[in-house]
Amino acid sequence: AQKVTQAQTEISVVEKEDVTLDCVYETRDTTYYLFWYKQPPSGELVFLIRRNSFDEQNEISGRYSWNFQKSTSSFNFTITASQVVDSAVYFCALSERGGYSGGSNYKLTFGKGTLLTVNP
Amino acid sequence: EPEVTQTPSHQVTQMGQEVILRCVPISNHLYFYWYRQILGQKVEFLVSFYNNEISEKSEIFDDQFSVERPDGSNFTLKIRSTKLEDSAMYFCASSPGTYNSPLHFGNGTRLTVT
């Protein structure tokens, strides 16, 4: 069975600090996808990134960066120079690709989320 | 940018009543999903839908739940006889079904069963 562990329940930082959110996953599949979503206080789920299991390249997007390491089954997320608007719950999620119809059927397994609070 | 739209944003119902949660997925998407998040907990997969049929469902998605795509645009989740424990945020999502395509979530419907 798939499992996603976000060991950090809550993190509190001061604005401009860098912060890394940890994500460790378990799966028996060789083909899978990893995601990060942001859930601000308003409640919606905002897609941040998707990475497939064959692509271990790290990625940087503005202040966000992701470190995917298959050897340790980790997909960590770093926010550089954090801002108050980054305050949210961040979810890591894992999906095998498939389903009865194959293709891009996303049955996501989410972690429990990390509540990030950025204080001014 | 196209969005997944959910209505209503908040629904209050009494235990035992039927509710229908509505979603309009992104128009060229082929796969549709419902997820649930009980307050303060993680998001859980309920069901996926493709080619007018359920492609996968979780243990949560029992006989009380059903999904339908009644026309070319709407995707609905029906709960036949609501229970207190059905109170949660329900998210609809859709994806194009092509390789390397992301999964887009709607803003959610908060269901409160009293």
What is the arithmetic mean of pLDDT over B2-12?
93
CA distances from B98 to B15, B37, B64 (A): 40, 27, 31
What is the arithmetic mean of pLDDT over B14-26?
96
What is the arithmetic mean of pLDDT over B1-5?
84
What integer pLDDT is reported at residue A101 of this predicted model? Answer: 43
Would the CA dihedral through A69, A75, A78, A79 be positive or negative? positive
| Tokens (6 digits) for A51 | 């990475």
Phi, psi (5° rounding) for residue A70? Answer: -65, -35
What integer pLDDT is reported at residue A105 of this predicted model? Answer: 65
Whether the CB-CB separation of A53 and A32 falls below 8 Å is answered with yes
What is the arithmetic mean of pLDDT over A109-113?
94
What integer pLDDT is reported at residue A2 of this predicted model? Answer: 85
Between A25 and B30, name the one with better pLDDT. Answer: A25
What integer pLDDT is reported at residue A96 of this predicted model? Answer: 72
The pLDDT mean for chain A works out to: 88
What does the DSSP assignment read for A29-97? -SSEEEEEEEE-TT---EEEEEEETT----EEETTEEEEEEGGGTEEEEEESS--GGG-EEEEEEEEEE
Say how far apart CA B53 and CA A47 lie, in whole Å: 26
What integer pLDDT is reported at residue A97 of this predicted model? Answer: 61
**Is residue A112 less than 8 Å (CB to CB) from chain B?**
yes
pLDDT in tens, B61-98: 999 999 999 887 899 999 999 999 999 999 999 988 76
What does the DSSP assignment read for B25-41? --TT--EEEEEEE-TTS
What integer pLDDT is reported at residue A104 of this predicted model? Answer: 54
Start-to-end C-alpha separation, chain A: 41
* Nearest-by-Cβ selection for B42 from A47, A104, A112: A112
Three-class DSSP category at B100: coil
pLDDT in tens, A56-108: 778 888 999 999 999 999 999 999 999 999 999 999 999 876 543 444 567 78
**Is residue B25 less than 8 Å (CB to CB) from chain A?**
no
CA angle (A11 as vertex; A10, A15 as ends), nearest 5: 145
Among all residues of chain B, which has the CA nearest to that of A90?
Answer: B42
Whether the CB-CB separation of A17 and A1 falls below 8 Å is answered with no
What integer pLDDT is reported at residue B13 of this predicted model? Answer: 97
A4-8, A65-69, B40-44 — most confident range:
A4-8
**Is residue A100 less than 8 Å (CB to CB) from chain B?**
yes
Inter-chain touch B56–A99, beta carbons under 8 Å: yes
User: β-strands A74-79, A88-97: how paired?
Assistant: unpaired
